[in-house]
Amino acid sequence: MTRTIITGGLVITASDELRADVLIEDGRVVAMATAGSQQWTADRVIDASRKYVIPGGVDAHTHMELPFGGTFASDTFETGTRAAAWGGTTTIVDFAVQTPGHSLRQGLDTWYAKADGKCAIDYAFHMIVSDVNEHSLKEMDGLVEEGVSSFKLFMAYPGVFYSDDGQILRAMQRASGNGGLIMMHAENGIAIDVLVEQALARGETDPRHHGEVRKVLLEAEATHRAIQLARVAGSPLYVVHVSAEEAVAELAAARDKGLPVFGETCPQYLFLSTDNLEEPDFQGAKYVCSTPLRPREHQAALWRGLRTNDLQVVSTDHCPFCFRGQKELGRGDFSKIPNGLPGVENRMDLLHQAVLDGHITRRRWIEIACATPARMFGLYPQKGTIAPGSDADIVLYDPHAEQVISAETHHMNVDYSAYEGRRITGRVDTVLSRGELVIDRREYTGHAGHGAFIPRSTCQYL
């Protein structure tokens, strides 16, 4: 039996802040006590004075090695989970993909194989359903039993991931019966594709046009439609990567009616804007993702939504493509730029900066980045908190350290940073995953294969 004590830090969870010592045995938290009040013996004592002791981050939206636009997201499960650990995230929920014409089983098995033996931290899966048919609907039940209890559908990307309203309704009906949670990419992709074609015909080929054709109204319309379809089906709904004020308003109206509707936003929508998409010399391609970045006025509504709980989760939608060789596929045609931004390493730090900037409180930081994603996706209290019985996924966070985010120093396998040059106060110092040191005072001590697949229960808000 290995015993570790973390002493003298400020333990912050979604509900409490207290000076406490934390006792870990065999990978789990077994006790907490007022700092210095117990004479525990241990094999290892970790001094957390002047540091926060926080739950490891739970990033509920990543795409390691996602095939997209003729290429693959550049982080593997090995590089991406190592970078996540560097950034204080100890669990990711990645998206397994069903390829049209194939079963959910085949898609999920491909993702198990990609991740097996590669991960530095624990991981779980959602399932992207891109071919809703009698067989895949039946398969959803088995996946919920297996611990893959959430299903992403797309109202965007016709011909790739897209489902029509009838398919969406059927999947929602199935989820309402089996306890699954439907996650929605809410953009009207049929209308967007018309606008893309028209923009290209006018010679509008630069990255900024990606933001212009993917209109706020088409996000708001799809969000509204997804909510109504979920009501008809009697299913809960989780809208991913919410970027527009008008989409937040749709979620808020639904929640005011008491509907089981949830919303996630991402750091890129909180910290970046169409100003980035407009950067010259094709640099805007670095910021092409969908939903797209919005004019900066939308940021206030997103922060407000996070404070009022109209938005509950901040995940990254980490989907990195290198500028050289990948984003460049879209030179001369913005619709060929692979969609996605890197960020799995930056989320906890950016949100800590948001605490200092007065957008959210410290406990809300932990709630939106750790506790709520764990509850939303059936991982709590194993993940997302520090409490007796929880996995010892713990971050020692130095709230006073200064850092400048840069591709020169980050650990993600991508040749640029979306936050290049941004000054952050606060930095991860030490990371434990199930009691094992993965980062020890800014040294990587983890290894591929430590991370385990974690089967999930169903959404814990229902």
| Interacting residue ranges for ligand DUC, rule: CB under 6 A | 63, 68, 185, 289-290, 317, 319, 339-340
Which partner in ligand DUC, Zn ion, none is near 211 (CB below 5 to 8 A by kind)?
none
Is the distance from CB of 59 to CB of 93 less than 8 angstroms? yes
CB of 321 to ligand DUC, least distance (A): 9
Q: Least CB distance from residue 290 to Zn ion, whole Å?
A: 6
Give min distance, CB of 324 to ligand DUC, in A.
Answer: 19
Q: How far is the CB of 407 from ligand DUC (least distance, A)?
A: 19
Q: What crossing angle do the helices spanning 165-178 and 216-233 adopt, rounded to 10°?
A: 50
CB-nearer residue toward Zn ion: 90 or 130: 130
Residue 347 partner contact from ligand DUC, Zn ion, none using kind-dependent CB cut-offs of 5 to 8 Å: none
In terms of CB distance, is 72 or 282 closer to ligand DUC? Answer: 72
What is the closest distance, in whole angstroms, from the C-beta atom of residue 207 to ligand DUC in the complex? Answer: 13
Span between the terminal Cα atoms of the chain, in Å: 37
Q: How far is CA 94 from CA 105, 264, 428, in A?
A: 16, 15, 22
Compare residues 123 and 397 and give the one whose CB is closer to Zn ion: 123
Report how far residue 62's alpha carbon sits from residue 126's, in angstroms, rounded to the nearest whole number: 10
Which residue carries 């982080």 as its tokens?
75
Asked if 80 and 62 count as a contact pair (C-beta separation under 8 A), the reply is yes
108-112 long-range contacts (CB < 8 A, ≥24 apart) are 108/143, 108/148, 112/453
Residue 371 CB, shortest distance to ligand DUC, in Å, is 25
- Given ligand DUC, Zn ion, none, residue 377, with its beta carbon under 5 to 8 Å by kind, binds none
Q: Which does 68 bind (CB under 5 to 8 A by kind): Zn ion, ligand DUC, none?
A: ligand DUC
Query: Which residue of the chain is nearest Zn ion when measured via CB?
Result: 185
Binding positions for Zn ion, rule: CB under 5 A: 185, 317
State which residue, 68 or 416, has the beta carbon closest to Zn ion. 68
Q: Taking the complex as a whole, how short is the minimal distance between the CB of residue 339 and ligand DUC, in angstroms?
A: 4
Q: What is the DSSP string of 25-94?
A: ETTEEEEEEETT------SEEEE-TTSEEEEPEEEEEE-TT-EETTEE-S--HHHHHHHHHHTTEEEEEE
Q: Which does 433 bind (CB under 5 to 8 A by kind): ligand DUC, Zn ion, none?
A: none
Indicate which of Zn ion, ligand DUC, none lies near residue 210 (CB less than 5 to 8 Å, by partner kind): none
In angstroms and rounded to an integer, the radius of gyration of the C-alpha atoms of the chain is 21
The amino acid occupying position 380 is: Y
Nearest residue (beta carbon) to ligand DUC: 289
Task: Name the helix (H) or strand (E) containing 277.
Answer: helix 274-277
339 binds, among ligand DUC, Zn ion, none (CB under 5 to 8 A by kind): ligand DUC
Cβ nearer to ligand DUC, comparing 65 with 367: 65
Min separation Cβ 170 and ligand DUC, Å? 21
Side chain identity at 36, as an amino acid letter? G
Q: Which is nearer to ligand DUC, 29 or 319 (CB)?
A: 319
* 459 CB burial (10 A radius; 0-12, 13-18, 19+): buried
Shortest distance, CB of residue 156 to ligand DUC, whole angstroms? 7
Distance CA 318, CA 82 (A): 13
Closer residue to ligand DUC in complex, CB, 330/340: 340
Of 167 and 390, CB closest to ligand DUC: 167
Interaxial angle between packed helices 104-115 and 134-146, expressed in degrees from 0 to 180 and rounded to the nearest 10: 40
Q: Would you say 185 or 410 has its CB closer to Zn ion?
A: 185
Q: In Å, how far are 33, 51, 108, 348, 430 from 398, measured between CA atoms?
A: 21, 5, 38, 12, 9
